[in-house]
């Protein structure tokens, strides 16, 4: 019994892919919660409770639910079978027999049902904001892979699923704590979401050949750029999103000069790394991705300190 429980925990940990959750979801939560801890008069215990609530939601939705549906869909299409599987290619719970396909589907199905049920209860008992955040999260996880499979369509996966999920999570801390969303929270949430989109585009580069072999083809934005312009341009979606992130320094303006200055440096470093990246070398691409994950966390904290 103990061995079975330990095996279940190991499988769940593999599925969550904690590094991705921490560098995107937890980072964006920190970016809007940190100013509240540092500069507001709200009690630390109240803010800590909100942070824990959002972090649990992030691990359940962005970790377990999103990856359960994504692994299930990518296994059926065959793309994960041909992935280099360095950082990309799913959690590998199916390929290593840590979980069965049926078990994976049941995890996603019942977790989605439980989360929607929780959202309904939140609406009934007046916790409207929490309910809204839950609905957006479940929508993002389900629409990205099943049944709409937006991740298999260029631009739609990141804009209709990924972006609203990370953006709303970034707004969540300020929204729940203050009841309103100040401009600095909008700025931080948007920038963190754009940086997340950028490293996800890099994440898709090593898998582009596997995605092209999938049935149906997983036509990510990276695959679309590759088919349209050739493999040397596979990094251009990431470049575009990093440029957008960098341009937000004009939104931050002189009111947040040091935040803008730090962001400009971090985005410049990111752009240099991506532009010099060898798209044909999965190991090099994955090394760049790791650096971008670190930059994502650094920028989130930097923006959180300097509002």
Cα angle 225-227-231, degrees, rounded to a multiple of 5 = 70
Q: At what angle do helices 101-124 and 66-77 cross, to 10 degrees?
A: 140
Q: Where are the domains of the chain?
A: 2-305
What would the pLDDT profile of 171-198 be if each residue is shown by its tens digit?
Answer: 999 999 999 999 999 999 999 999 999 9
What pLDDT does 1 receive? 59
What pLDDT does 5 receive? 66
Residue ranges in the chain whose pLDDT is less than 70: 1-5, 7
The pTM of this model reads: 0.95
What would the pLDDT profile of 93-141 be if each residue is shown by its tens digit?
Answer: 998 889 999 999 999 999 999 999 999 999 999 999 999 999 999 999 9
What pLDDT does 88 receive? 77
What pLDDT does 10 receive? 86
In whole angstroms, give the CA distance from residue 37 to residue 300.
Answer: 15
Q: Which residues contact 187 (CB under 8 A, 6 or more apart)?
A: 248, 251, 252, 256, 303
DSSP 206: T
In whole angstroms, give the CA distance from residue 230 to residue 282.
Answer: 17
Q: CB of 26 within 8 A of CB of 55?
A: yes
Q: How far is CA 28 from the centre of its chain?
A: 10
């Amino acid at each position: 019994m103990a061995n079975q429980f330990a095996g279940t925990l190991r499988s769940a940990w593999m599925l969550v892919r904690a590094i991705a959750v921490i560098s995107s979801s937890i980072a964006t939560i920190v970016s809007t919660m940190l100013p509240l801890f540092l500069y507001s008069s709200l009690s630390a215990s109240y803010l800590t409770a909100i942070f824990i609530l959002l972090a649990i939601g992030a691990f359940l939705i962005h970790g377990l639910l999103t990856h359960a549906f994504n692994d299930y869909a990518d296994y059926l299409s065959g793309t994960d079978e041909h992935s280099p599987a360095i950082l990309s290619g799913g959690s590998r719970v199916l390929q290593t027999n840590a979980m069965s396909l049926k078990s994976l589907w049941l995890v996603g199905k019942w977790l989605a049902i439980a989360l929607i049920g929780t959202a309904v209860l939140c609406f009934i008992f007046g916790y409207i904001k929490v309910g809204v955040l839950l609905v957006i999260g479940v929508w993002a996880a389900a629409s990205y892979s099943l049944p709409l499979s937006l991740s298999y369509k260029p631009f739609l996966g990141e804009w209709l699923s990924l972006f609203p999920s990370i953006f709303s999570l970034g707004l969540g801390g300020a929204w729940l704590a203050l009841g309103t969303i100040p401009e600095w929270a909008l700025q931080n949430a948007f920038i963190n979401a754009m940086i997340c989109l950028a490293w996800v585009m890099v994440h898709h580069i090593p898998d582009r050949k596997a995605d092209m072999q999938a049935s149906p083809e997983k036509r990510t934005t990276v695959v679309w750029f590759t088919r349209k312009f050739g493999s040397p341009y596979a990094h251009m979606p990431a470049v575009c999103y990093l440029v957008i992130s960098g341009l937000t320094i004009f939104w931050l303006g002189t009111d947040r000069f040091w935040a803008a200055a730090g962001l400009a440096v971090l985005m410049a470093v990111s752009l240099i790394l991506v532009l010099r990246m060898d798209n044909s070398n999965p190991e090099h691409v994955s090394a760049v991705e790791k650096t971008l994950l670190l930059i994502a966390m650094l920028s989130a904290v930097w923006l959180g300190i300097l509002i």
